[in-house]
């Protein structure tokens, strides 16, 4: 029996110093606040290179927390709400250590001015899906799923279909007589 699960995420959103800040803010708004921040692929932790509101009823207003320490509890748990904690980083190895210490690795986001640098960072981040200079990471034509504690297998696209199929290998010994044609 095949199983495919999606178990939530704790997506980092990385911003480098050379980024187009307006584009990064647009991407962050989409990655964090679409569906009121209640999406498993929502950016949860914001890492910006060195560069409380009123709630009523069942709604919590969008909130940005600045100068959050890297070891703060909010950095290590899935928020599922419109709260964006920001941690500052200086060196890339420090960033990757902080980003990759999560075990909830469904999605991640990287915004940078240098596309090659953004791709290099994306490849170094432990996540099933990485949005490079964009705030949406999932789409129907792409496989959807995480690594570590954020799921098992993939859904969507061709990879998702493979989760529900069984591969069968047939090893056949062909009789020597089958190699000769009886029709001359």
**For the chain, the helix, strand and coil percentages under 3-state DSSP, each to the nearest 5:** 25, 20, 50
Beta bridge partners of 147: 105
Which is catalytic among the residues 40, 92, 155, 166? 40
Q: Is 158 a catalytic residue?
A: no
The residue written with tokens 């921040």 in the block is 37
Contact criterion met (CB below 8 Å) for 56 and 35: no
| 163 annotated active-site | no
Residue length, the chain? 184
Tokens (6 digits) for 28? 């962050």
Q: Which residues are catalytic?
A: 6, 40
């Amino acid at each position: 029996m095949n199983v495919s699960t999606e178990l939530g995420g704790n997506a980092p959103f990385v911003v480098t110093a050379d980024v187009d800040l307006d584009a990064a803010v647009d991407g962050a708004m989409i990655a964090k606040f679409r569906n009121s921040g209640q999406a498993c692929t929502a950016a949860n932790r914001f890492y910006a290179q060195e560069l409380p509101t009123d709630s009523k009823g069942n709604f919590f207003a969008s909130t940005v927390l600045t100068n959050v320490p890297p070891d703060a509890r909010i950095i290590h748990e899935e928020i599922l709400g419109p709260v964006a904690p920001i941690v500052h980083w200086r060196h890339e190895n420090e960033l990757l250590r902080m980003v990759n210490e999560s075990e909830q690795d469904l999605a991640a986001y990287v915004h940078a001015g240098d596309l090659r640098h953004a791709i290099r960072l994306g490849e170094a981040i432990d996540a099933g899906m990485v949005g490079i200079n964009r705030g949406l990471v999932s789409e129907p034509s792409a496989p959807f799923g995480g690594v570590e504690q954020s799921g098992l297998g993939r859904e969507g696209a061709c990879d998702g279909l493979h989760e529900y199929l069984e591969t069968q290998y047939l090893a056949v010994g062909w009789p020597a007589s089958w190699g000769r044609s009886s029709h001359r």
